[in-house]
Structure 1
Amino acid sequence: MVWTEASGRRVLPHPCGELSAGVVEALGKPPGSVIPATSAPADPYGRDLQLALHTCYGLYYEGFDGVDTGWEWDPGLLCVRAELERHFLAALRADVADGVDVETELEELLIVPDEESGVAAFLRDHGKPWQVREYFVHRSILHHQEADPYAWLIPRLRGRAKAALVAVEFDEFGGGRGDRIHQRLYANLLEGAGLDPSYLAYLDVVPAPMLAIVNMMSLFCLHRGLRAAGVGHFAAVEITSSPASRRMVAALERLGADSACITFYREHVEADAVHEQLMRREVIGDLLAREPDTRAPIVFGIRATNLLEDRFADHLLSCWRDDRTSLLGPETPDGKDQNSMAHLRIPSEFVAIHRR
């Protein structure tokens, strides 16, 4: 998906299989048009299903240029989206162990991981500039929508839980200052790294693991029945963000990165340390006091987040340890064409790694 500041265009992504092709084809027509059926079963974590679902969810964010807004509530597309969600949610439930001990789950999140493990630690100790930029490209799909899905949780909470979640969101949205919105800070980071700062500019080169994380956010927060899982997910993000951001600051300082890149992560070191307390004590504490039966879904949200973040980290590290790109070629979403990077705003040394 490529958006230029001059035109403000948000273009539908390039499909990568039957499911995504059917959704993209339908959105080029008037609402109510028949959505092409597919017979092939899809991998619930595969890029075809994840891109199709991400495209459906895109209608609830900034939408797409030339796509009728009536598609947002089109009954046929809602049925397709529900089927995609069913496959994805069933896979998450199958792969995540059940649990009800919220307190222990939160305490485990507070344990700082082994200093030698994880993506941020790898970048801090061994990362090359092109690998840091690849990480920025992956995370742009998330941070261009950072905090937006959590806003859907607000009307689904009451009392202290609602007030505390709003307080966290207020910080995420810049405390009332447009130039401090975290989405804006990430756009500044991309620009500081010589990358395209525009909305979802790199969607066509980001593989499935990151799409799955972003789709999980929308899935949990759009459905009232999954709101407690959304709270668990949000808490997991805020609790683990500060230590990881501290490692990223160290990585970027070691590499002499632009100040805008360091500013984004330094902001999260400070802000998320406060958010962690709000999420644990006020949001989750009050929700459990009011609704004790939300224990299991909160744990599910935490564990589903860990599952998908681990899958994302495994993808990056397995690629980088072999000194190969973790991104897809822009012309062929299956990754076969690694040489056509010309339409992306990527510095020459970053392009070089995709031409090996």
Structure 2
Amino acid sequence: MTNALDRDQKIQKVKELTSFLFHKHYCENDVEAIIGLFDDKLSWFGAGEHEYNVGTETIAGIFRQFVNMIPKCNIWDEEYDVVDVSPDVYVCSGRAWIATDPSANIYLRVHQRITAVFRWEDHTSRCCHIHISNPYSEMTQQDVGFPAQMGQYTYEYLQKCIDEYKAKIEEQTKLLEKLRFEDSLTGLFNRNKFNLDRQDLEKANLSRLGVAAVDLNGLKLVNDGRGHRAGDGLIVRTANHIADAFAGKCYRIGGDEFVVVDSEWEQDVFYKAIAAMKENMEKDGISVSVGISWRNSHCDIEEQFDEADRQMYQEKTAFYSAREHDRRKSRRQ
């Protein structure tokens, strides 16, 4: 048996049920949950000029027409006040901000009002009257002839939704740009970015241009002897050293191939940065072959890249020839 509620408990219950009506209608579009609260006798004023009727069955039929017709909304800042007009009849007046969810593709924000009357019988509350106030009646003291404040609220909400969509698009664009131009293993720029920047540099009138081609020595031996995870680790360490020396100016264009492009530094600064980079790599147990091209006139990214690439391969050939010579010498001894 349900315990009887005292006056204060009934008032709290009526507030909760009125909020329940709001949320089931605007947030969940759960018509049957609303109909489940209807009394045997019921009157209803809807938000529209034509929305009025009496009779539980008639109103239930109207509400069932709302299924899948109400866009998903969000509700906040709910306020309710309850008056007990008799021991078993309670009138709740309330208001809340209601706004369409951005996913609904409908943009509206209103300060909705509701009046609901509940009748208690056999310890159970039933709704016998619902009245929804439409926002066109939201006239402020400053409004004359038209609810301009309500229009401003709607505009602000629409602008907020647009700003949120813009932020999402910008975030997604940055992510796509990162995926397009960033090497996933090292975080350096990738070949796509290098090719794009080459096109821009071809058109630029540069007063200086330095290009360095860097190739990691011994990667295959590491992959074959210790596995590709160790090889990847070696590539990342190499990339980190290059990035430390040339942040924002370096690219990974192949498995063990890197390029540095700089149009700001003087020749001595550029060469010193290369030397310091190689020294730090040697301390870290990393061997690289490097080719360099620097000009302060007739700068040409294509010519200089080819020049640096040729120098790098000459150095790489010398490295492997020397290592093979050392290996043969060791065998003879």
Report the TM-score range of the alignment, normalised by the length of the smaller protein.
under 0.3
TM-score (norm 2): 0.21
Structure with a larger share of its residues in helix: 1
* Structure showing greater relative contact order (alpha-carbon pairs closer than 8 Å, 6 or more residues apart): 1
- Specify the structure having the higher radius of gyration (Cα): 2
